[in-house]
Amino acid sequence: MKKKKHIIIVDDVTTNLKCVGEILRDDYSLSMAKSGEQAISMIEKTQPDLILLDIKMPGMDGFETLECIRNNPANTDIPVIFLTADNDNESELKCLKLGASDFIKKPFEPEIMLSRIERVLLQEEKNKSIRMEALTDPLTGLWNRKYIMEQVNSFTTRENVTGSFIILDLDNFKGINDTYGHVVGDEALIAFAKTLTSFVHKDDIVARIGGDEFAIFLKNSYGKELLSDRIAGLIKDVETALNVIKINENISSVSVGISAFPFDGRSFIELYNNADKALYYVKNNGKNNYHFYDSNEKYSIVDNMHTEVLDLSHLKDVISDKDLDNGPFKVEVSDFKAIYQFLQRYVQRTKGKVQVVLFTIKDLSLSVKTCDLPESMAVLETSIKNSLRKNDVSSRYSESQFVVILMDVDDINRSIVVDRIMENWNKNNRNHNFFLKYDIEEIASK
């Protein structure tokens, strides 16, 4: 039997509540509220499919109630129909501007009310389908990067909670497509996705970030030892799942990087960046294994064929002045290296705060679209240019990276600048296969 849609009816007049209840009770599950405050309390406890909201109520009127409802992101998509005795266009216009789906005029005509409610609920079903499609990976049916980013960022605002962020990457996946074709490659990704789904609990999140990179967010702390056992078992399960579709043993493994909330980051991008470093560590140390991010560990790329640096630790090794105390400032090397070395001296002398940020554009597609990268890099360059002051410094470090120096800023102000650059790039970048990440640290004196 199909479950009835749940409607909350809000009206301070008991007669109106009874009248609407008589019209709707055979077709819908109903809850009644006699004030905006009571309605908001109900909505917090249960997510209705629709709200019928009277405009003129003592205390908090319908307009104020709707604003309070919409202030909670969880309630943004609940459709609202205003109940009104007003006939003026101004009230109707205000209803629509506040995001109401429709309005029903008093006295109520049963057929008109039922028709309008049915129309709004049908439209909301279509909207839900569109939203789900926008947040779902079409190949695997898992959530996509946008969804897991939103959910992790929402989760990390809560108090007294912990979690684990896990990045998983199939080893040598390009070899699967090259050797067996894209059909088998897709089968491998689907098998991988099913294995990950069976690994998590109901409240956890599994998503395909892009290409053969997947992510899991576990919404509680298992402890390092227990999580190690689970990840080790998952790696074996992935190998078994991929071998079922006859994939060569050399390309049927997975590498895993893990970061912990709140210890390794307090946002999606921070947790992703640090799990990504742990993943690269695995990739450069034999693959087919897992690694927990450790802030005390030095991460670098050992494969000299890489054109990118992994993080600021590695970048610092490349451009840092090893002989800081010996001799004058060196100007014969590249400009940025000279500036960096000078600022090491500046920090040593003044104890000032200088921050370095490394921005990296990461390609999440299966086929590298190098022709699109310059356009996204141009967007990043513009975003950086528009966000920095005259005394800051930026330089293109590689074909997919910019490095930025922020002068005399504390942790709060550096976050403001970085957030502005990220927001600007995300808004203007047109290729959604590209993902912008960053690494940030303060220059320390030697």
Provide the annotated active-site residues: 212
Is residue 79 within 8 A of residue 96, CB to CB? The reply is: no
CA-CA distance, 388 to 180, in Å (whole number)? 48
CA-CA distance, 374 to 361, in Å (whole number)? 10
Is residue 17 within 8 A of residue 9, CB to CB? The reply is: yes
Residue 75 tokens read as: 């309630």
Residue 321 tokens read as: 């002045």
Is residue 290 within 8 A of residue 235, CB to CB? The reply is: yes
CA-CA distance, 48 to 261, in Å (whole number)? 32
Q: H or E segment at 193?
A: helix 182-199
Residue 185 tokens read as: 């490659």
Sign of CA dihedral 331, 334, 336, 340: negative
- Distance linking the first and last C-alpha atoms of the chain: 72
Residue 442 tokens read as: 């303060």
CA-CA distance, 136 to 157, in Å (whole number)? 24
